[in-house]
Amino acid sequence: MDWMQIIYRSTLFRHFEYDEFLQILPELHGVVRTIKKGTILLNEGEQVSWGGIVAVGSLATMKTQFNGAVSILDFIFPSKVFALDMALTPSRISALSIQSLEASTIYTFPFHGIELGWMQTPQRERLVRNILVYLANENVRKQHKIEITSQYSLRARILTYLHFMSSRNGSNAFIIPYSREQLANYLCVNRSTLSHELSCMQQEGLIDFKKNQFLLLKKPGREG
């Protein structure tokens, strides 16, 4: 699949025919960039006047704590929109950093590219709705992250996340989008500690897993 097909699958272009997408894309004045692993796309405190969509690879949003430690807030995979939520704020000041986790291809477009005067009314209404859906999704993702990481015990964090993924997939068997290292970062724990707890939960018959394939076997007791 080429990069344009992946960009087309993003939230920004939902309910657009592919022919419409091809007409709209040049009007966004975007560029396709291939970046190396570790490339910083945005630093905390910088003004952001653009949005982006991942075509190939993965990015991470990061936050620097008061003591200098850097924590990963979330991961951004192909077809996902990023940075546009901050570009839409009045200050346009970034509250986080964005860095590539691997060699990646991204599509970025200036904020003025989504000014809607050049669009036909039906297209403009669809694009506005899509932007609102994107903003709502970002808000829900952050709420889920707060709910998961606010759990007192590591096991409760894991189970809260796995039950969320089970509900989202409509099945007790599902694939998570994270590697073990990424899941540890998402849950704000050490990888070896996470692996140990997962093994214990598997031995106790709560879950089964192989790499990033998980199966919830039974409901746990109340976790603190």
Percent of the chain at pLDDT above 90?
69
> What's the pLDDT at 40?
95
* Mean per-residue pLDDT, 56-84: 88
* Mean per-residue pLDDT, 128-154: 92
CA distance from start to end of the chain: 45
Task: Compare 132 and 220 and report the one with higher pLDDT.
Answer: 132
- Find the range with the poorest average confidence among 114-118, 157-161, 206-210, 214-218: 114-118
Amino acid at 174: F
Instruction: Judge whether residue 86 has pLDDT over 60.
Output: yes
∠ CA 59-64-66, nearest 5°, is: 170
Q: How long, in residues, is the chain?
A: 224
Query: 205's torsion region: left (phi>0), alpha (psi -120 to 50) or beta?
Result: left
Distance of CA 174 to the CA centre of its chain: 18
Q: Which domains does the chain have, with CATH numbers?
A: 3-148 (2.60.120.10), 152-216 (1.10.10.10)
Cβ pair 47, 166 in contact under 8 A: no
Instruction: Judge whether residue 191 has pLDDT over 50.
Output: yes
pTM: 0.84
> What's the pLDDT at 1?
62
> What's the pLDDT at 65?
76
- Find the range with the poorest average confidence among 18-32, 63-77, 135-149: 63-77
pLDDT tens-place string over residues 168-181: 899 999 999 899 99
To which residue do tokens 């894309």 refer?
A: 25
In angstroms, what CA-CA distances link 188 with 67, 139, 148, 177, 181?
A: 16, 19, 10, 16, 10
What does the longest C-alpha to C-alpha distance in the chain come to? 60
pLDDT tens-place string over residues 91-105: 999 999 999 999 999
In angstroms, what CA-CA distances link 176 with 141, 173, 182, 211, 213?
A: 15, 10, 10, 9, 7
> What's the pLDDT at 222?
47
Instruction: Judge whether residue 223 has pLDDT over 60.
Output: no
- Find the range with the poorest average confidence among 82-86, 154-158, 215-219: 215-219
Q: Could you give phi then psi for residue 89, rounded to 5 degrees?
A: -80, 160
- Find the range with the poorest average confidence among 18-27, 106-115, 177-186: 106-115
Radius of gyration (C-alpha) of the chain in whole angstroms: 19
Which own/partner contact pairs does 59-68 have at CB distance under 8 Å and 24+ positions apart? 59/98, 59/99, 59/100, 59/101, 59/104, 59/106, 60/98, 60/99, 60/101, 60/185, 61/96, 61/97, 61/98, 62/96, 62/97, 62/98, 62/99, 63/95, 63/96, 63/97, 64/97
* Mean per-residue pLDDT, 108-137: 82
Instruction: Judge whether residue 113 has pLDDT over 70.
Output: no
Sign of the dihedral defined by the CA atoms of residues 82, 84, 85, 86, in that order:
positive
pLDDT tens-place string over residues 22-56: 988 888 889 999 999 999 999 999 999 999 999 99
